[in-house]
Amino acid sequence: MAAPRIVGSETEYGLTVQNDPDFDSIATSLLLVNSYSSVQSLRLLWDYDQEDPLVDARGFELDEEYDVPDQQDNMAINKVLPNGARFYVDHAHPEFSTPECSNVFDLLRYEKAGERILNLSRMSANQHLPSGRTILVYKNNSDQKGNSYGYHENYLMDRRTPFQTIAEQLMPFLVTRQIFCGAGKVGAENGTDPVPYQISQRADFFETEIGLDTMVKRPIINTRDEPHANRDRFRRLHVIVGDANMSEYTTYLKVGTTLVVLQMIEDGALALNLTLDNPVQALRAISHDPTCKITVALKDGRKMTAIDIQRCFHEAACRYLERHGPCHPTFPQIVAEWGSVLERLATDPMQLHREIDWVMKLHLLLHYMERRGSDWDDPRIAMMDLQYHDIRPEKGLYYVLERSGGARRLLTEADIQRAIDDPPEDTRAYFRGQCLKKFRQQVFGVNWDSISFNLGDGPIKRIMMEDPTRGTKQHVQELLDRSQTAAELIANLVS
């Protein structure tokens, strides 16, 4: 049977400062991260000793240097939040990593909580800027100047499933799923053929099929083998090919369908002959066709649309649920929504103007051009494209749609607000978050799979958390209740 489904996401946000001719993205990112008020008094280290990003899932390790920041820089660029998340500076961008989640709805709650946290930080940081300057933050993937920044999904998988099997069976799914999870973009970049509008923000920037890098020669299948868990039992599939989405429904479908497909791969229940002849070329061609009618070539000579390929995966998922049962309580509804979306994409994608980001944005732009009598060359169209991703609830065009009923909601604001402060209760993020709340002055360092305490006398004490399904409220609440200090916690753990 497949490993427990644990999932998380990492979002690099775009940003700029209005009226700042000397805009410095790194300095602004540092200001933003350090302006989040709930962690101003919490000084701790991100434990880089537990990270190893140069190990490749194909069985080798790159012989390169991995720069680790010194202690002062470490504290400046990293914030570990009481909800179990990490908020930090990655290169020239603020990045928010959700805590480990056991289901797609929790992932959605914490990713949306990240948007709220970024906006709270933005408002606080603006108070430190000269008059007339304002930080703007965008949940998107392209600055329209040739630069792309990432949105990454992470899925816990069973180490016994060969990586080559995962890569072969997942490739056609990842290339084609953009038809229901693309964020939409005006124009093309990275030397690709001109197009007025395309489905994905990221498709133009992928240049190879499989590889370890995430910033140059970006691969569709990333081979980073850094499980943040027990290496003998688990692997972390690091998916970098997706867009950052504003729509709750789009994120739900993107992550939910991927969870279902990975479950089938691990259970040996996916035997589809859908190998693409040129996955990189197919990724771009599908993105450049908002009608969803273009065909792409398979190795066996067949030509299929992205909808055709997705229907094969969907039909396999329906058969899987019939034979194996729901496996996870969220799966039947995910598969039902998946099928409904594919049917509407096949008849008229514009039917999804309340659900799917790229359709929502296209619907908005087409109506604007119709009212104004303008076309794709109108500079206001590019501005609206960017404004769709503005995280300010009062300004962002996605949030305008949300308030007017033009966006299908899956969450309440109360769901999101709870996720800002409290960790999930059914993964190890609960133990991490509660320790940060209860023993905050004694926490020395944190990583996804460990937490370290400075007890004042003797060496630093590190608690390993190598199973993401443990450390839950059910597992540790009694331990936390009878431990009034970190020293008592350590003693109670070993007693």
What residues are annotated to the active site?
A: 90
User: Distance of CA 461 to CAs 75, 144, 414, 477, Å?
Assistant: 19, 47, 37, 20
- What residue type is 268 in one-letter code? G
Alpha helices in 97-157 (DSSP H): 104-126
Listed in sequence order, the residues at least 6 apart from 261 whose beta carbon sits closer than 8 Å to its beta carbon are 169, 170, 173, 270, 313, 317
CB 272 within 8 A of CB 165: no
For 393-419, b where at least 16 C-beta lie within 10 A, e where not — what string? eeebbbbbbbeeeebbeeeeeebbeeb
Using CA atoms, how far apart are residues 422 and 82, in angstroms rounded to an integer? 7
Q: Are 318 and 339 in contact (CB under 8 A)?
A: yes
What is the spatial distance between Cα 220 and Cα 241, in angstroms, rounded to a whole number? 6
CA dist 369 → 119, 197, 290, 319, 354 (Å): 30, 13, 17, 44, 19
Q: Show the tokens assigned to 120.
A: 């709270």
Residues recorded for the chain = 495
- Enumerate the β-bridge partners of residue 303: 297
Burial class (CB in 10 A: 0-12, 13-18, 19+), 329: exposed
Q: Which two tokens stand for residue 24?
A: 């410095």
Q: How far is CA 282 from CA 275, 298, 376, in A?
A: 11, 10, 25
Show the tokens assigned to 56: 């490749």
Q: E-assigned strands of 358-495?
A: 443-447, 450-453, 461-464
Distance from C-alpha of 235 to C-alpha of 57, rounded to nearest angstrom = 9
